[in-house]
Amino acid sequence: MKQILMGNEAIALGLIHADVDVVSGYPGTPSSEILTNYQKLKDKLNLTAYAEWATNEKVGYEVAYANAMSGKNSCATMKQVGLNVASDALMSSAYIGNIGAMLLISADDPGFYSSQTEQDSRTFAKFARIPVLDPASPQEAYDFVKLGVEISRKFESPFMLRPVMRVGHARGICEVEENHEFNPPKANFIKNTNRWAGVPPGPRSVQGGELLNKVEQIRDYNLQTFISPKIAELKGAKTLCISSGVASTYVREAIEENKLDAEVLKLDMPYPLPYHKLNELCKSYEQVIIFEEPYPCIEEQLNAPNLLGKFSGHVHQIHEFSKEKVIESFKKARLFNDSNPYQASKFNAHSIASRPPTLCPGCPHRDVFYAMTRTFRSKNSIYVSDIGCYTLGLNQNAIDSFLCMGASVSMASGFSLAHPEKTVISTIGDSTFLHSGVTGLINAIYQKHKFILLIMDNSIAAMTGRQTTPERSNPENIDIKRIVEGCGITCHEYVYKPDMNKTLDFMKELKEIYKTSDMPIVAVIREFCVLDKERSNKLLPHKLVSVDSDKCVECDTCISKYKCPPMSYGENHKVEIDPFLCAGCAACIDGLCPTDAFVLADLGEEK
């Protein structure tokens, strides 16, 4: 049966058709839609299956892995930077192995489109010594999930699927199974302390040896199942291009469209590779070029003398692939001598006004950042933030640094030690605080580090698609204020109002408390996301604002510091409000403009 599916939809359907009945993960672009679609399919088909958003990637992996130890088919989803968080569990699980299937889906982001690093999950699979499949299309993503379940059960090893953004967010026609009877295996945990609790060095040393044996068996499986049939189809051109995933599609199209004397060997499983066989194959070609994105995972495993790639400087080393870049590599390898047919004409950046990333109109984060920077001046403060929508506070000059999920709290500790003369203010969202910020707070209280922590709680993981957070799903039992108080300190609370004077007053209160404290000052600010219809419809006043041009003195406060998108200078050099962009929060009316130029719009006159 044929269906048009987005890659992440195809993966979710593949999980159902592979009889995976436990999926746990943490949202992160480009992986978020996998779990969301699995939940939709589970409900639509009325399946007895379990899907959850975990508090972080490590937790998600461990929940899924325990099920795989019990013989069930399970899956953990995340993006590539989330794999760093789950890596501790991954490395140990590779040694211990599993009885059922353990799928790790780590979605990569070559090109940094929504990530702070470009790291390659294939190299992480190599580091952990587990097999990895690299799909090039939604169809392959669907097929490889089912294959991965077989591989994981066959070799009793965790298995990784590594889709990139161009697979997860692409749409394509997929041939999928029809009328699948969902029949996941039952749980049956068999106690075996030497295996499941292998204490070093004895049992773990044995498992280490077994892991190496598994790698060799999977290497041979890779050769027999995936690679040998493809080698048999090669026709013997002068140049061989070895590639995997989406990169192979660019290479194949560039060769075919320019009728070049080259052919492609696409590796579906880039680790572990049968390197002896591949090195021998390379010798039968004049030259071999390895194309992969973004890291040299394949290239590191081969050592034939005629290899060209990232190490030789023939292939670019950063950012995602394109046919233009493939042709540039061919020119360096003297396979192509004409001008690059894919080279885009020069873009005139001056024709379009620069538009930096910014918070949505009506977002309460904007008011908090504005009040924060006005109360704690930049010259005397250090602003540390985290990963999430509030990263967009950069546009308001409210962030000096951010590192990774949850790091803002620990970094605030560090900055407070380095600069005791300055006020350090850390900002973090609710999902990120529960993900990994809380451990930093415990350390800060433990060590008595002095800084201000603002937890901006909109009870949703807004940037990745508004997934539910723990306190949103279970407010009776999980509450950030009580978590902070459980660490032994006061948690100050502010229920956000779209009134700048009230937000400023709260910041001034924190400033006074900070003066006499020798501990972290923590505040939870109860907000909402303007895209969260369930809450914003109730909490937004829906009052449109206009500008009294007689009062506007062009002081630039609203344009250069508050930076709400509907605000701009009109033809008369006075500030104007674009009614099509205004969310109706009316937060700018009180406390923002020094001359009170913002007023409620007279909708009657506009008619």
* C-alpha span between 166 and 207 (Å, rounded): 37
Q: In the numeric block, which tokens belong to residue 153?
A: 């059960």
pLDDT at 356: 82
The annotation places the binding site at 552, 555, 558, 564, 582, 585, 588, 593
* Predicted model pTM: 0.94
Q: In the numeric block, which tokens belong to residue 217?
A: 């068996």
pLDDT at 355: 76
CA distances from 57 to 31, 317, 405, 516, 524 (A): 12, 28, 11, 38, 24
Residue 192's identity, in one-letter code, is N
Q: What is the pLDDT of residues 539-583, one digit of tens each?
A: 899 999 999 999 999 999 999 999 999 999 998 899 999 999 999
Q: In the numeric block, which tokens belong to residue 349?
A: 């950046």
* C-alpha span between 35 and 22 (Å, rounded): 10
Tell me if 179 sits within 8 A of 3, measured CB to CB.
no
Q: How confident is the model at residue 256 (pLDDT cuts 50, 70, 90)?
A: very high
Mean pLDDT for the stretch of residues 4-15:
98
Q: How confident is the model at residue 345 (pLDDT cuts 50, 70, 90)?
A: confident
* C-alpha span between 569 and 576 (Å, rounded): 6
Q: How confident is the model at residue 344 (pLDDT cuts 50, 70, 90)?
A: confident
**CA triple 288-294-295, angle to 5 deg:** 70
pLDDT at 94: 97
Q: How confident is the model at residue 199 (pLDDT cuts 50, 70, 90)?
A: confident
Q: What is the pLDDT of residues 73-119, one digit of tens each?
A: 999 999 999 999 999 999 999 999 999 999 999 999 999 998 989 99
pLDDT at 603: 67
The mean of the pLDDT values for the chain is 95
Mean pLDDT for the stretch of residues 274-296:
97
Q: How confident is the model at residue 606 (pLDDT cuts 50, 70, 90)?
A: very low
The annotation places the binding site for [4Fe-4S] cluster at 552, 555, 558, 564, 582, 585, 588, 593
pLDDT at 346: 75
Mean pLDDT for the stretch of residues 599-605:
75
* C-alpha span between 447 and 436 (Å, rounded): 18
Q: Which domains does the chain have, with CATH numbers?
A: 2-188 (3.40.50.970), 227-333 (3.40.50.920), 364-539 (3.40.50.970), 545-600 (3.30.70.20)
* C-alpha span between 32 and 467 (Å, rounded): 9
Taking the CA atoms of the chain, what radius of gyration do you get in angstroms? 27
β-strands 545-547, 598-600 pairing? antiparallel
Q: Which of 460, 532, 446, 166 is closest to 319 using CA atoms? A: 166
Judge whether residue 191 has pLDDT over 60. yes
> The tokens 């109360």 sit on which residue?
375
Spell out the residues 6+ positions from residue 187 whose beta carbon is closer than 8 angstroms to its own: 67, 70, 71, 72
pLDDT at 332: 97
Q: Which of 145, 136, 154, 124 is closest to 15 using CA atoms? A: 145
Indicate the Cα dihedral angle 405, 410, 412, 416, nearest 10°: -160
H-type alpha helices, 424-479: 430-432, 438-447, 470-473
The 8-class DSSP code of residue 476 comes to: T
Q: What is the pLDDT of residues 408-426, one digit of tens each?
A: 999 999 999 999 999 999 9
CB neighbour burial string for 356-384, b if at least 16 within 10 angstroms, e if fewer: eebbbbbbbbbbbbbbbbbbbeeeebbbb
Q: Which of 299, 240, 293 is closest to 264 using CA atoms? A: 240
Tell me if 7 sits within 8 A of 168, measured CB to CB.
yes
Q: What is the pLDDT of residues 15-42, one digit of tens each?
A: 999 999 999 999 999 999 999 999 999 9
Mean pLDDT for the stretch of residues 257-278:
98
Q: Which of 462, 541, 528, 536 is closest to 495 using CA atoms? A: 528
Highest average pLDDT, of 337-346, 350-359, 522-531, comes from 522-531
Judge whether residue 604 has pLDDT over 70. no
Spell out the residues 6+ positions from residue 130 whose beta carbon is closer than 8 angstroms to its own: 90, 94, 104, 157, 158, 159, 160
* C-alpha span between 204 and 226 (Å, rounded): 31
* C-alpha span between 501 and 588 (Å, rounded): 10
β-strands 22-25, 545-547 pairing? unpaired
Judge whether residue 607 has pLDDT over 50. no
Mean pLDDT for the stretch of residues 379-408:
95
Percent of the chain with pLDDT over 70: 99
CA distances from 11 to 33, 46, 427 (A): 9, 19, 35
Q: How confident is the model at residue 150 (pLDDT cuts 50, 70, 90)?
A: very high
Residue 184 preceded by cis peptide, ω within 30: no
Residue 414's identity, in one-letter code, is G
